[in-house]
Structure 1
Amino acid sequence: MPEGHSVHRLARQFGDVFAGQRLAVSSPQGRFADGAALLDARTLLSTVAHGKHMFLHFDNGLALHVHLGLYGAWDFGGDATFRGASSIGAPRKVGEREVFDDGATDPGAGGGPEYTGPPAPVGAVRVRLAGAHGWADLRGATTCHAITEAEADAVLARLGPDPLRNLPGDKEGFVSGVRARKTPLAALLMDQKVIAGVGNVYRAELLFRQGLDPWLPGRSLGADAAGGLWEDTVAMMSDGVRDGRIITTPPRYWTEPGAGLPAPGESHFVYRRHGLDCRICGSPVALTDLGARKLYWCPVCQQGS
């Protein structure tokens, strides 16, 4: 499932390529036909991401609410001026990239015949948004609804603070929310009512970087440690928005630190490294299941509270 940084990248991209435009909204698959009719020919005013939820706000007081879930993905394409990533979401595609390279040819933009509009939809396209220079197709999302602003506010009210929004009071709300629970930290970080946008990769890497025992009850975590956990989450996820990837290791752990971003196998401390030596202490990285998700951690380095 795409984590919060990908959803924020999506919201930023929609704002960059479609904000202020009157969009053609359709549902080639047919499952979103009623919602598409409500949004068709309306102007996109703004885009908001909160955790793993995205809201596209239109000029008629309605919003397109999307949660990608495990299988949702947006595909983009357009003319030579369209600067949209080819695809963001899951399942991942061979050759997918979330950072546009001005020196490369984008699969959906430029280098071809004159742009005459979106191509015929391929597969089960739940919703298509089309503007003056490009389009975006949504497939496989868990949530895709046209809702009122009040309904959007109600969704936000059910979610915890988003580190990538980091609004006033969010840090304090996270600290108090964590310290009020006896649930293990590893479960709390995946609870979207406690903190919005953290997924399995960030969960494992945050706990490792903070040296925290995944099974430590939230109420046993000191206020300073909880505040430090929030601040590291803000920093790590902000890096993810910038890089288009989750990278949690510093350059000293990379084979070619001056070459840009690290190889995938050098990007993380513990995630998907079970059985391999911990990068810090050399002990084997452990793996277990917690809440039906895989948890990676170092039993030696992560004993702190």
Structure 2
Amino acid sequence: MHTDDRRAADLEELGLTNYEARVYLALIRRDVFTAAEVAREAQVPRQRVYDVLEGLTRRQLAVLHPGKVAGYSAVAPEVAVDRLMEQQRRSLGRLERLSDDLARELLPTWDSGRTHTDPLDYVEVLRDAADISDRFARIQSEAERELLSFSRPPWVTPSENVAGFEASARLHAAGRTVRSLYSQDVLDDPVMLEVVRRFGEVGEEIRIAESLPLKLIVADGSTVLCDMPDPVARAGATTSLVIRHPSLAETLRMAFQSIWEQSPTLDEALKLREAATVRDAAAASAAAGAEGGAAARSAAEGGSAAVGGA
């Protein structure tokens, strides 16, 4: 990291904004700067530098020199750091008092809540399509370590799953796990096949299962979202369950892993499909040839019988 960037980051840790840190670092390079000069030196927008300088002056980290053209200078670094530390100590003291008061106020409510439990507090039932879509996006966006999913028709279009695309890229970049099992139906859908390839390009690991019983996503080994097609309601109706239960999530992770290990990659599945198509074509051609040969033999035998009869 560039030295000034590191110093600015340290000043931000002490409570300055990025612009304030950059302007202070510029001010210490010379005795006095005008606002325009320090804006150029610190690479801060001209329209913002006046507010930044006013803030530093108010916090006693810079000194204003009035005149026809006002100038500004920095206080000595050791003084500035001491003042920032003192401001942090005061802020920390206020937070400690606030947290103590808040804890005392909330404790009675928390205690009374221990007397009420609902065995299904960890299960949420969703039936509205918009609610299901929103929760699906949130689960993907909030995943920090792992996303595992069963994907089968009806497919979610890319415009409906921007969060999934971004989550795949984010988790992959962080060295985390993002894996999807797609049912073989995807091989017959050119549009969806292209979508799957796009997910693979940003880091999603992909395999093709022979069949999948339902659509499912498991996030961070603790949260499960699954679609449960309604066998009674109108065709296409579905109910989604959000279940926050680590034991259930772990069981489904094991099921996912079992199917994953038995399933080919997307490229392998496409090669297997192509080979099967070639075999089927060859078998059909052989069958047609055999039928043609049998018909020819039958015609020849019929002709010989006719000659003999004559």
- Bin the TM-score by the shorter chain: under 0.3
Quick check: which one's helix share is greater?
Answer: 2
TM-score, with structure 1 as normaliser: 0.21
Larger C-alpha radius of gyration, 1 or 2? 2
Larger relative contact order (Cα-Cα within 8 Å, sequence gap ≥ 6) = 1
